[in-house]
Amino acid sequence: MNTPPLETILIVDDQEENRRIVSKVLSMMHYATLLASSAEEALQTLEKQTPDLILLDVMMPGTDGITTCQKIKANDRWAGIPVIFLSAADDKNLIVQALEVGGVDFVTKPFNRAELVSRVRTQLALKRTSDQLRMLAEDKDEILGIIAHDLKNSLAGMKLSAGLLQARLAELPPRCAPLVENIMHATERMLSFMKEFLANQRAEQLRLRKELVKLADAVRILAASHQPAAAAKNLTLTTALPKADVVVEADREGVMQVFENLLSNAIKFSPPGGSVHIVLEDPSGGVVRCVVKDSGPGFTAEDRAQMFRRYGRLSAQPTGDEPSTGLGLSIVKRLVDGMGGSIVLAENGQDENGAKFIVTLPVPALRDPAN
């Protein structure tokens, strides 16, 4: 029978006697131990081997435990390792500071062996559970992604075949026409769902990074790309942009996805002959607002309560028989929140109709020229 590998604990303490005692106690409980006498030695050890848990002394010469923990948590390879702080000082402020930088627990010296072992066991059990859940989530995402891609390819083939039949309806019996139309519509709806499902998966996995994005340029590009769809429904698509550049601190791809979804929805739910209007305001109070307004049916109070939930079914229906999956607004909300912004559905005035979404994004902080 294969014996599972021992869980490894890195003990970081400048006192040799403390390292020896803790290592002996944990070895008796069948844990493997790594020893480091300083922050520098601990980081060197982590480069060579990743432990399951770190016991970290707070007060050490040179780099202290608080700073060491910050360095550990700033590294993606080590950020998931739980850190239990060790200290002879029972200072509440120090305990709070240790927990705020990423520590999961705090044990005071001199050690109570039973307490130390119990806390180590608890944190290792939590880490095992967290690792299992993360692996399950990764497996789920991978399986769903594979299924979705395979279905998307199959549906694309079905749509192509239905399109060929549609082009040759004159050669088919009259009763075939509605059947071909049904196949085309059903296939388009399923393809739309798959595209938005995969976009939702990408949004969940997208690692947003802050960069300087010219928001007016992004709006111009997206408005131009949606003009054909607007023209097909006889919609007027207009923009009102400031003369000066409007720069926000956000993720470029995230910004494009947000306004892609909002513009697509605005066109989808506006009736033929209606209008879609995008207004980008001048920055104020450290943020910039962008308003996307359509002339559709708007939203009910019940819609407002669930509009940002995934797969939420809202009362409004597309006006041109376009497919709707209930994923778009949930993607938008997740991305905007991740970029430090906000999105709200504004209340309409007495003579207004349609939906008006207001996206707020942060502008870069002004820097002191002297620095």
Distance CA 233, CA 239 (A): 18
Burial class (CB in 10 A: 0-12, 13-18, 19+), 261: buried
Report the candidate in 339, 317, 167 with the shortest Cα–Cα distance to residue 248.
Answer: 339
Report the candidate in 121, 76, 137, 84 with the shortest Cα–Cα distance to residue 106.
Answer: 84
pLDDT, tens only, 10-46: 999 999 999 999 999 999 999 999 999 999 999 999 9
Distance CA 304, CA 315 (A): 10
Cα 24 versus chain centre, distance: 43
Each of the 371 residues of the chain gets a pLDDT tens digit; together they read 455 678 999 999 999 999 999 999 999 999 999 999 999 999 999 999 999 999 999 989 989 999 999 999 999 899 999 999 998 877 778 888 888 999 999 998 888 889 999 999 999 999 999 888 888 877 777 777 677 667 777 888 888 888 888 888 888 888 888 888 888 888 887 777 777 667 666 666 667 788 899 999 999 999 999 999 899 999 999 999 988 888 999 988 889 989 988 998 889 888 899 999 999 998 888 899 999 999 888 777 777 777 777 655 555 555 555 555 445 788 888 889 989 999 998 876 556 678 899 999 999 875 444 44
Does residue 344 sit in helix, strand or coil?
strand
In the sheet where 236-240 sits, what is the strand order?
236-240, 275-280, 287-294, 356-362, 342-345
Does residue 292 sit in helix, strand or coil?
strand
Burial class (CB in 10 A: 0-12, 13-18, 19+), 31: buried
Q: Say what the pLDDT of residue 278 is.
A: 94
Does residue 9 sit in helix, strand or coil?
strand
Distance CA 332, CA 342 (A): 10
Whether the Cβ atoms of residue 34 and residue 9 lie closer than 8 Å to each other:
yes
Measured CA distances, 119 to 26, 83, 99, 300 (Å): 12, 11, 15, 51
Say which residues have a Cβ less than 8 Å from residue 190's Cβ, sequence separation at least 6. 151, 155
Token pair of 80 as six digits: 């998931």
DSSP string, 305-342: HHTTSTTPPPS---TTS----S-HHHHHHHHHHHTT-E
Written as one letter, the residue type at 361 is L
Report the candidate in 363, 367, 371, 366 with the shortest Cα–Cα distance to residue 212.
Answer: 363
Q: Say what the pLDDT of residue 284 is.
A: 86
pLDDT, tens only, 146-191: 776 677 778 888 888 888 888 888 888 888 888 888 888 888 877 7
